[in-house]
Structure 1
């Protein structure tokens, strides 16, 4: 089992790869305070997001949705997305294929 570092990705936001394979990667994003931002971006990877804890307002394309513990959704390849943390917590994201830029 690999031991992956915790990487700061923004103010009060960290990322840690939990597991990876060329076809799939699982990553924890931890938000330490309300108001922390996962900036709008897009990528070729299909992404699934599971809310382990906390509360978040996500922008998915032209739609906004609020999600909390136990919620999950899929972000299609190329869709612009990002979030604002409403209550500190953790998102577990799956990416296919693997995000080599996270290694």
Structure 2
């Protein structure tokens, strides 16, 4: 297992960074930090099951063909293959867990 000191902060878009917090071949925990209202987590999908916990901020998520606004303390699971993305409504941090690990983040 590895933790934060070994993983760099990576710019993923305007006002958005990603940092792997911990990883194992079967699971990965990642912090996505949004520094500005309007920052975008682009629509995408992947074969991994994803769990998202809103540590801080507010976000409008698109999950498949539905939209929902989430804030601190909210959490949800995104099934494998579901298209999803978000728009930051108030700066904050999302903590995402993936199973299996997202090797493309390493």
TM-score by length of 1: 0.99
State the SS of the aligned residue for 1:101.
helix
Give the whole-Å Cα distance in 2 for the aligned partners of 1:16 and 1:86: 21
Unaligned runs of 5+ in 1: none
Number of corresponding residues: 103
In structure 2, which of residues 88, 93, 101 is the aligned counterpart of residue 90 of structure 1?
Answer: 93
How far apart are residue 31 of structure 1 and its match?
0.1
Unaligned runs of 5+ in 2: none
How far apart are residue 33 of structure 1 and its match?
0.2
Moved over 3 A (4+): none
Q: Partner of 1:70 in structure 2?
A: 73
Q: Partner of 2:104 in structure 1?
A: 101
Give the whole-Å Cα distance in 2 for the aligned partners of 1:39 and 1:102: 16
Q: Partner of 1:18 in structure 2?
A: 21
Give the whole-Å Cα distance in 1 for the aligned partners of 2:27 and 2:102: 8
| RMSD between superposed Cα atoms in Å | 0.6
Matched, 1:49 2:52: yes
